[in-house]
Amino acid sequence: MGRRSRKPRDYRDVDGILLLDKPLGLSSNKALQAARHVFKANKAGHTGSLDPLATGLLPICFGEATKFSAFLLEAAKHYRAECRLGVVTSTGDAEGEVLETRPVAVTLEQVESVLPRFRGRIQQIPPMHSALKHQGERLYNLARKGIEVEREPREVEIHALETVEFDGDRLLLDIHCSKGTYVRTLVEDIGEALGCGASLSALERTGVEPFRDQRRYTLDQLREIREQQGDAALLDCLLPIEAALADWPEIELSSAMSFYLKQGQPVQVPGAPLEGLLRLRGEGEGFLGVGQILDDGRVAPKRLLKAH
């Protein structure tokens, strides 16, 4: 989750999830702090960085929602990636130094014949220009010093990879992938498979599961809502905390079950799933948090909302 800074005196408790449309050129943490300032929120964190070059969906968790941000970090992502064929850069994207240009004589049929190699479970070597650490130092810091170190391949899963547009040296792709996927690396590898090389020229994150079609807000839109419609309208832009877990199984607890579970004690719930994590709702209380099925079938608390 992104960094949280010290709260000014006029900030307040705000709970919920904002689907921010991150602008080009702004880091995820700067976008987070700008959104936090608009809402005057005491506590906020984002759920997976986007490079300054990238735009699109950046879910921001406010207040109690930060307890559940880790689950969004684990979620699959959707991207629309613009690839520039024939251009290889030092970073794999448009921010890097151009290392090589190659002629492009690629057809749509060739593109379509290559893409199946990159669907499903694949191995990726993380780029040097990434936030991974080597002996305590970020790889991108080492890269800036001209140092390259060996990186272990990592397995990721490409759930879907489809051509949207193709125009000579410009290829537009829709990508649905697991967490930890480096789209820059995917684009570079596709370029090598085509024989011409490629780099990422633009990237938009279009979804973070379970968020795909809900409305996103730009920072300018949020400022305008606050100034023209007031604080209540601004808070209406937030999704409820449980929206982050919309695809999860859910059980409802009796008042007695809720009482014991809030004390940290596992409870037996008839009809509960046999394993895994699940949403918890209390009778007359609404969303309580996340529970986990133990080996003996009881439901144990994993992460609960603060009692009010």
Q: What is the pLDDT of residues 147-203, one digit of tens each?
A: 666 667 889 999 999 999 999 999 999 999 999 899 999 999 999 999 999 999 999
- Judged by phi (left if over 0) then psi (alpha if -120 to 50, else beta), residue 128 lies in alpha
For residue 222, give both structure tokens: 């949020």
- Identify the pLDDT of residue 141: 66
Return the CATH superfamily for domain 77-208. Pseudouridine synthase (3.30.2350.10)
- Can you tell me which residue has the tokens 């930060």? 66
Q: What three-state secondary structure class fits 100?
A: strand
Q: Is 51 a catalytic residue?
A: yes
pLDDT in tens, 215-247: 999 999 999 999 999 999 999 999 999 999 998
Q: Which candidate in 10, 15, 21, 51 is catalytic?
A: 51
User: Where does the chain hold its CATH 3.30.2350.10 domain(s)?
Assistant: 16-75+211-242, 77-208
* Strands 98-101 and 137-138, bridge-based pairing: unpaired
Q: Check: CB of residue 119 under 8 Å from CB of residue 112.
A: no
User: Where does the chain hold its CATH 2.30.130.10 domain(s)?
Assistant: 248-304
pLDDT in tens, 70-113: 888 889 999 999 999 999 998 889 988 899 999 999 999 999 99
Fold of 248-304: 2.30.130
- What class has domain 16-75+211-242? alpha beta
Q: Check: CB of residue 42 under 8 Å from CB of residue 14.
A: yes
